[in-house]
Amino acid sequence: MLRRSRRVGAAFVGILGLGLLTAPAGAAEQQPQPVTAGALPTPQTDGIVLSMAIVGDTVYAGGHFSKARPAGVSPGGAGEVDRDNLLAFDIRTGQLLDWSPSVTSTAFESSADPGPLCDSLGDDRWRCDTVFNVTASPDESRVYVGGDFDRINDRWRSRVASFDAADRTLVNGFDPTVAGRVRALSVTEDTVYMGGAFDSVDGTDRTRLGAVSTAGELLPWNPTADATVHSISAVPAQQRTLIGGAFDSVNGQAHSALMAVDDTTGANVSWQWEAPTAEDVVTDIDTDGNGRAYFGAYNWNADGPVRFEGRGAVRIDNGATVWMDGCYGDTQSVAVSGGVVYSASHTHSCAALGAFPEDGVIDYQRLTAESTAVAGTAAANPNHVEEGDPVPALLPWLPNTDGGPADSPWQNGTWTIEASSDYVVVGGEFTTVNGTQQQSLTRFAARSVPEAVNNGPQVPFRAPDVQRQWPSGDVTIEWTGTWDAQNRAIRYEVVRVGASEPIHTVTKESWPWSRPTMRFTDTQAPDGSTEYWIRAVDADGAAIGSPRGGTDW
């Protein structure tokens, strides 16, 4: 290393880990900015949250739970109240709202276990009343829910119901009878589209897909799918309804995982996208009003090297692929806002993006953010993505949760995510957020929200290695950078103990799996024992300091 004059000092920067992570070829310099990564106080439940809808300042959440409690309170603690699979809270304050509909179902007998989202009543008797989907009408005047239930507030509501958003009362007259689970809802100005595992609506054959008017009357829309429909998204502007799920055929024609049908007739329409494998299941679909749909998936086989488990984007008008991220790790939900695709997943091994390597410092990343736009091309051939294929940018938003209770049959952690311009809300089965106890619900805020919580440079951030050089007496300070949960760039300040100002600053970008090694030579070091430490500061002002390192001569 070349030495400089004692008047200016010297610095060196290297990279630790995988090497310097660069954006994919052709990546845009300016990417959209996700919300902050520090969790805000949010109500908790004693179970799992599977779906949410943001309506104004209110978040409606549904799932499989019986209790709700304030943030920071342990199960059974102060403030815990009854909530039957539905609750609401204020998105601005995180306060639980006084809305507690009774959601239940008729008990039945079966020698076969119907699954973990049903409750055993003993003696082969069961009750299944989980809420799988919560969706608002376009004008936000109504909130629709779908699931396994057959009664709400002691009134017959067979697997689908509607609430008035103004007073949160059950809507009279909206009471279609659906024979089987409703997993997916999409609502337009005059139509409620449904998907799931049912075989009839109001006594008329409907094979996993059906529609009723907003008054509850059965409509002639009657496409068919050969397996469960998990997601549905109506796009009236393009006269299409997108459907995602575990199916291999739609209307008797071979189409796996994701397809589009006419929003009036239900007939298949032109569609280019093809699932990488027959075992792929599209779990969620969201749109951004710009003619594109974004979706996530899992693969039920989970053994082969090619599995669609990450995220993708397509054109709505013809199903042409916009990008696929090639990541592994089941994606349960996606939400789009401000040019960002937020996802609830357990992402790992995203070689096409140069991210989340196997056996890296992060096992599973359960919350991620990517750009809606293509940011470059894949540099390798991982999973179902080939070198040169378009890919999005991974964005610096890395809050995380655990996988959930030890006895969970899934250990997915996050199951649902929704976003507005100011907030991102997350639900699931997790019990911690960013290492702090918090069960099944959490929220994050944009930087413009005064209550936003930063989650900046991370620990451990180790002491620098300090060595005095002989015979010059100069002191070399070397350290490994850290990473940040909501920024790529971190400013490092070298502080000599006793000095009033940093003696050196350098700004470098990093990811958890790619952290820079930096070195600075203090050519003005005093004689004798001298100590140094490093301050790491991000663009939001969040900062941490390393322990001290020193030399004895």
Handedness of CA 178, 183, 184, 187 (dihedral sign): positive
Spans of the chain below 70 pLDDT: 1-29
Candidates 432, 424, 350; CA nearest to 391 is 350
> How far apart, in whole angstroms, are the C-alpha atoms of residue 492 and residue 265?
61
Q: Where are the domains of the chain?
A: 59-186, 223-453, 465-551
* Burial (0-12, 13-18, 19+ Cβ within 10 Å), 139: exposed
3-state helix, strand, coil in the chain (%, to 5): 0, 45, 55
**CB-based contact 209:195 (threshold 8 Å):** yes
In words, the CATH class of domain 223-453 is mainly beta
pLDDT at 278: 95
Backbone angles phi, psi at 353, to 5 degrees: -100, 0
Among 109, 110, 165, residue whose Cα is nearest residue 137:
165
Quick one: which H or E segment has residue 82? Answer: strand 81-82
The pLDDT score that the predictor gives to residue 7 is 29
The maximal CA–CA distance of the chain, rounded, in angstroms, is: 93
- Report CA torsion sign: 268, 269, 272, 273: negative
Structure tokens at 177: 């009878």
* The dihedral sign for the CA sequence 335, 336, 341, 342: negative
Strand ranges, E, within 311-438: 311-315, 321-324, 331-337, 340-347, 365-377, 390-394, 414-419, 423-428, 432-433, 436-437
Question: What's the pLDDT score for residue 303?
Answer: 81
pLDDT at 29: 62
Task: Report the b/e string of 510-522 with b at 16+ CB within 10 A.
Answer: bbbbbbbbbbbbb
Q: Locate tokens 């007073």: which residue?
A: 167
d(CA 194, CA 189): 15
CB atoms within 10 A of CB 238: 17
| Alpha carbon separation from 188 to 70, 142, 196, 293 (Å, rounded) | 34, 11, 18, 16
> Six-digit token pair at 399?
């809050």
Closest CA to 433 of 382, 338, 366: 366
**Ordered DSSP codes for 391-406:** EEEE-S----B----T
Query: What's the pTM?
Result: 0.94
Indicate the fold that domain 465-551 takes in CATH.
Answer: Immunoglobulin-like (2.60.40)
